[in-house]
């Protein structure tokens, strides 16, 4: 580049050819490199001969005020082992100034520039007389410099400057893309490592949950045996098989029997919940009457508080549904018991309906429409539930808060078990509620049997 006389203009077509060659070489470096540092090295190797440089360097920021050499081309062999230790302070010398001032810095004669007296010995020893430094800009911020060293001392002409600016711009854009790709690759590696770790943790959590459910199922099963014995002997005592009882003894046995029955119900719920989560709960479908299931559920639980009115709204005719009747009764008993518990005074209403026309009509059977559902609603005028707590009430062993648990009692298993049973039967349990107004729990099941797998 410096070897052409200054007053001899370079033909336009030669300038264009050189620019195209420089751009091509930088693009080739980007396509073949595997890291940003390799982009700098390959680009330097390919572009320096195009611009006529004797040798060249690429420097990048090591800190805010220090640059380190990351790529070098054609340096004398005796200096190559020391290149990795080369540092340049930002603001000093052509390279440091190019970064500090973010502009093209040209020194066409180092030996005649008084400000570069400290560089003369190095220039004489290495065999260069002029230098050009161009800032490497990443994300609109000067992060380094590309410096070419020339043996001659002629000034650059406009074609030379245009070519070097093109080289700097192309290398900056290419390097920025290479850094972005490297960041993306690093993020992908981290993401893969995190995914492996998360998968391992997920498997550990699944195994821990399985072991917990196995434990609950085994313990619940073992608790039933002694409790059954307690209930059996209580029955024998109440029936007078061990002799006559006083009124006080009979009342005490009734309390024992009631507590044992309640405990057996809790154990059954716990065992069912564990078996559901382990996939062991068997479903036995048959064609039933939804109205009869509602009445059976209400007849098998304790009475509500004296100030609570209970009513049932259902069609006069039977509402056929194919499902497991024992599980439906169990769900409805939980929902009705829950309504009784949280309604100290007011009304509890149980409704039975078909969601969208009867699937048992000849028209529906002929059309094969399986979208119809049978719906049981349990509505109360009790304390109600805040909207933010509606999802939490279906978590196992949880009520809305500690104060409600202490005031109303219970383990918090009933709703969790009811929802999981309903989903096992192909349906669901949902809730609408307003604090101080009441709640409506809805059990919806397909009219035709559809077990969830």
Per-residue pLDDT for 380 more than 60? yes
Segment holding 101, helix H or strand E: helix 93-101
Which of 200-214, 221-235, 400-414 is least confident? 400-414
The confidence band for 96, taking pLDDT boundaries of 50, 70 and 90, is very high
Which of 256-265, 335-344, 439-448 is least confident? 256-265
State the pLDDT at residue 362.
44
Task: Give the mean pLDDT of the chain.
Answer: 78
State the pLDDT at residue 365.
42
State the pLDDT at residue 31.
59
**For the chain, what's the residue count?**
453
What's the mean pLDDT in 414-425?
Answer: 87
Per-residue pLDDT for 315 more than 50? yes
State the pLDDT at residue 5.
36
What's the mean pLDDT in 210-238?
Answer: 75
What's the mean pLDDT in 310-318?
Answer: 90
Segment holding 78, helix H or strand E: none
CA dihedral 390, 393, 394, 398 (to 10 degrees): 150
Per-residue pLDDT for 305 more than 80? yes
Question: Residue 334, Cβ neighbours under 10 Å: how many?
Answer: 26
State the pLDDT at residue 212.
67
State the pLDDT at residue 363.
42
Closest CA to 219 of 251, 267, 256: 267
What gap in Å lies between CA 429 and CA 175, rounded to an integer?
Answer: 58
State the pLDDT at residue 376.
95
* Residue 221, both tokens: 């099963």
Can you name the CATH fold of 286-446?
Answer: Heat Shock Protein 90 (3.30.565)
Can you name the CATH fold of 198-278?
Answer: Helix Hairpins (1.10.287)
Domain 12-186 has CATH 3.30.450.40: yes
Per-residue pLDDT for 168 more than 90? no
Q: Residue 113: CA atoms inside 13 Å, Cβ hemisphere, count?
A: 17
Q: Where are the domains of the chain?
A: 12-186, 198-278, 286-446
Per-residue pLDDT for 3 more than 50? no
Residues facing residue 142 across a β-bridge:
137
The confidence band for 375, taking pLDDT boundaries of 50, 70 and 90, is very high
Closest CA to 417 of 271, 279, 309, 294: 271
Residue, of 243 and 36, whose pLDDT is higher? 243
The confidence band for 6, taking pLDDT boundaries of 50, 70 and 90, is very low
36, with CB counted inside 10 A (0-12, 13-18, 19+), is buried
What's the mean pLDDT in 389-412?
Answer: 61
Per-residue pLDDT for 421 more than 50? yes
Per-residue pLDDT for 173 more than 50? yes
What's the mean pLDDT in 387-397?
Answer: 79
Residue, of 202 and 323, whose pLDDT is higher? 323
Per-residue pLDDT for 109 more than 70? yes
What's the mean pLDDT in 132-159?
Answer: 83
């Amino acid at each position: 580049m410096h070897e052409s006389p200054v007053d001899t203009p370079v033909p336009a077509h030669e300038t264009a050819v050189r620019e195209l060659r420089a751009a091509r070489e930088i693009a080739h470096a980007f396509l073949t490199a595997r890291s940003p540092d390799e982009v700098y090295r390959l680009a330097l190797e390919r572009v320096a001969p195009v611009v006529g440089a004797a040798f060249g360097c690429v420097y990048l920021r090591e800190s805010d005020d220090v640059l380190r050499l990351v790529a070098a081309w054609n340096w004398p062999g005796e200096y190559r082992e020391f290149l990795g230790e080369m540092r340049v302070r930002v603001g000093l010398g052509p390279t440091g100034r190019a970064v500090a001032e973010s502009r093209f810095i040209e020194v066409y004669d180092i030996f005649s520039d008084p400000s570069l007296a400290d560089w003369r010995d190095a220039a004489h020893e290495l065999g260069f007389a002029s230098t050009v430094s161009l800032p490497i800009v990443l994300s609109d911020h000067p992060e380094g410099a590309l410096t070419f060293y020339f043996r001659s001392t002629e000034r650059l002409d406009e074609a030379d400057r245009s070519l070097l600016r093109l080289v700097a711009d192309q290398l900056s854009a290419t390097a920025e893309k290479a850094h972005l790709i490297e960041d993306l690759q690093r993020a992908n590696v981290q993401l893969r490592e995190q995914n492996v770790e998360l998968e391992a943790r997920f498997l550990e959590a699944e195994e821990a949950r399985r072991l917990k459910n196995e434990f609950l199922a085994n313990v619940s099963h073992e608790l039933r045996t002694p409790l059954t014995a307690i209930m059996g002997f209580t029955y024998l005592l109440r029936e007078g098989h061990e002799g006559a009882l006083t009124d006080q003894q009979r009342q005490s046995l009734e309390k024992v029997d009631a507590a044992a029955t309640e405990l057996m119900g809790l154990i059954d719920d716990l065992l069912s919940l564990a078996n559901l989560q382990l996939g062991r709960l068997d479903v036995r479908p048959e064609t039933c009457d939804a109205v009869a299931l509602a009445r059976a559920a209400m007849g098998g639980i304790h009475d509500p508080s004296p100030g609570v009115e209970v009513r049932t709204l259902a069609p006069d005719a039977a509402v056929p549904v194919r499902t497991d009747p024992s599980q439906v009764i169990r769900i409805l008993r939980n929902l009705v018991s829950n309504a009784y518990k949280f309604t100290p005074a007011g009304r509890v209403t149980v409704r039975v309906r078909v969601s969208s026309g009867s699937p048992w009509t000849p028209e529906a059977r002929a059309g094969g429409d399986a979208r119809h559902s049978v719906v049981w609603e349990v509505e109360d005028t009790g304390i109600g539930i805040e909207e933010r707590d509606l999802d939490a009430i279906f978590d196992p062993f949880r009520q809305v808060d500690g104060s409600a648990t202490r005031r109303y009692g219970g383990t918090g298993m009933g709703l969790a078990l009811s929802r999981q049973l309903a989903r096992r039967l192909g349906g669901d349990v949902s809730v609408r509620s307003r604090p101080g107004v009441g709640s409506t729990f809805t059990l919806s099941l397909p009219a035709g049997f559809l077990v969830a797998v």
